[in-house]
Amino acid sequence: MSGRYALGIDFGTESGRAVLVDCSDGSEVAASVYPYANGVLDERLPDSDVELEPEWALQDPADYVRTLQHAVPEVLAGVRPEEVVGVGIDFTSCTMLPTTADGTPLCELPDLRLRPHAWVKLWKHHAAQPEADEVNAVARSRGEPWLSRYGGKISSEWFFPKALQILHEDPEVYARAGRLIEAADWIVWQLTGVETRNTTTAGHKAIWSKADGFPSRDYFAALDPRFADVVDEKMSRRIDAIGGRAGGIGERAAAWTGLLPGTPVAVANVDAHVSAPAVGCIAPGELVVIMGTSNCHILLGDRLASVEGMCGVVEDGVVPGLFGYEAGQSAVGDIFAWFVENAVPPQIYELAQERGVNVHHLLEEQAAALAVGESGLLALDWWNGNRSVLVDADLAGLVVGLSLSTRPHEVYRALLEATAFGTRVIVDAFERGGVPVDRIVACGGLPHRNRLLMQTYADVLGRPIDVSASQNAPARGAAMFGAVVGGSYGSIVEASERMAAPVAETYVPDDRSRHGYDTLYAEYVRLHDLFGRGGDDVMKTLKRVRDETKRAAAGNAPQR
């Protein structure tokens, strides 16, 4: 056939991105971004007065369709549609929604439009912590064997806590949901007309494994009798292997996108997971860190091991024949953005403007002039809870060492360092659990924007960090899966060998800084354990008081 290109579509937190990739060498031919019109819904539902409680984070599924309608036609502008051999998509996860049996999102039904639980729950929706606590407590008391695959804890971000929250707080929406589905699988359904469910999100987020399937009916019944048949009533036991074909582009999707009907579409996948082959991580011991608003860590191993606080391990979950381990930090770039938006005074903005640089860049430059430890500051990077290794959304950020001489760039540096310490905790946990880390590749938006950040990671970890040249790693990885289902390659490993992005730059640890960071890291780990492992529960108490206060102020009971 005449095709030369594969299309990857990456559905992120704030926008969707289409990238057209040359199948022969992986070069990125065209890219287009669609910023979601409704973004992240964390204060109220669109065009309404319906306010959301703390910790909520929703999305509008119409934004995903608009990505297909706007971004895809733009990247196809210079090519003939028959030149596209296949399409792959990747998505944030666990991002899930309730739909009717035919896939219509419940939030698009007029009578459910003002019901928060009818909308998409974004990965960073953290309001299902009580349900996550229940999921974990019941699993522990029943001795569920699958719990150890998830570092001993299921996160509030994942599928069943979110599903259970719908049941608890809005049973009618739960009842009306013919399907509960990952947004990744839902968008493939919209593209092809075929409902599939992929191994990666099922394995990493919905407690499924190739060997054992889902947890038992008894387990779900123990959570809530009405939840006993959630898999058979709202989901499916048929799980499709990544790397396979979900279907072909349907007529409606062809009209949206300009793709030819029948163009092969790959089974859905996750942004972090497709990044591994995109940057050439296809062998055991290779760790890719996707650095953006949050950090996601994907490590390949050749055997099943039990690692504290990892998000999960899935056989064939990243690359066939290997075990894909996932860990994460729930806020990284988000913390730096919060800082610049909320805690940087006018004189820094003015200086940045005079110098013609952005504020992040100026702070980075000022912070780079500091020696390790010079600020006297240390932070815990839990502005959005802790995903790995503590798996606890109720933790919060902390800064210690503040004095009257503390300056903004010093706090900024302490925040960069805190996220690096958080990554080191994860790497240490992998190695302690028996999964070696031999090479680290960073990709995502942050590594290209902040040299100090990358040098700090190298110094704190005491290892070289390769930065991938691609700034569109997820979309490129998705496109590789498109190339595979389009027949250009026999497997994702073969595709990666030809199409992976090269290394742009390697950051090498500085011996002196590394030594200084060892001291600070020891302090970080002690505070991490003190506040994160139950030694001092101040963060949880403050959050509880805050939530009670907000509810009392709103004059109503929790939404249940």
Residue numbers at the binding site for a copy of itself (CB under 8 A): 42, 54, 331, 334-335, 338, 341-346, 349, 371-378, 383-384, 396-408, 411, 516, 519-520, 523, 526-527, 530-531, 536, 538-539, 541-543, 545-546, 548-550, 552-553
Query: Is the Cβ of residue 108 or residue 334 nearer to a copy of itself in the bound state?
Result: 334
3-class DSSP string for 64-99: HHHHHHHHHHHHHCCCCHHHEEEEEEEECCCCEEEE
Nearest-10 Cα torsion for 265, 267, 268, 274: -100
Query: Is the Cβ of residue 26 or residue 385 nearer to a copy of itself in the bound state?
Result: 385
Burial bucket for residue 535 (CB in 10 Å: 0-12, 13-18, 19+): exposed
Query: Is the Cβ of residue 109 or residue 398 nearer to a copy of itself in the bound state?
Result: 398
> Kind of pairing, strands 28-35 and 179-182?
unpaired
Query: Is the Cβ of residue 237 or residue 546 nearer to a copy of itself in the bound state?
Result: 546
DSSP H helical ranges for 97-248: 129-142, 159-169, 171-176, 183-192, 199-205, 217-223, 230-234
Nearest-10 Cα torsion for 41, 45, 50, 51: 10
Q: How far is the CB of 275 from a copy of itself (least distance, A)?
A: 23
Query: Is the Cβ of residue 407 or residue 439 nearer to a copy of itself in the bound state?
Result: 407
Q: How far is the CB of 398 from a copy of itself (least distance, A)?
A: 4
Q: How far is the CB of 390 from a copy of itself (least distance, A)?
A: 16
Question: How many CB atoms sit inside 10 A of residue 423's CB?
Answer: 26
Query: Is the Cβ of residue 384 or residue 471 nearer to a copy of itself in the bound state?
Result: 384
Q: Where are the beta strands (DSSP E) in 436-542?
A: 439-443, 465-468, 503-507
Query: Is the Cβ of residue 137 or residue 400 nearer to a copy of itself in the bound state?
Result: 400
Q: How far is the CB of 389 from a copy of itself (least distance, A)?
A: 20
**What residues pair up with 422 in beta bridges, in sequence order?**
none
Q: How far is the CB of 382 from a copy of itself (least distance, A)?
A: 8
Question: How many CB atoms sit inside 10 A of residue 345's CB?
Answer: 9
Burial bucket for residue 88 (CB in 10 Å: 0-12, 13-18, 19+): buried
Q: How far is the CB of 166 from a copy of itself (least distance, A)?
A: 23
Q: Distance (Å, rounded) from C-alpha 433 to C-alpha 82?
A: 48
* Lookup: tokens for 328: 């994460």
Question: How many CB atoms sit inside 10 A of residue 213's CB?
Answer: 14
Q: How far is the CB of 403 from a copy of itself (least distance, A)?
A: 5
Q: How far is the CB of 217 from a copy of itself (least distance, A)?
A: 38
Query: Is the Cβ of residue 62 or residue 399 nearer to a copy of itself in the bound state?
Result: 399
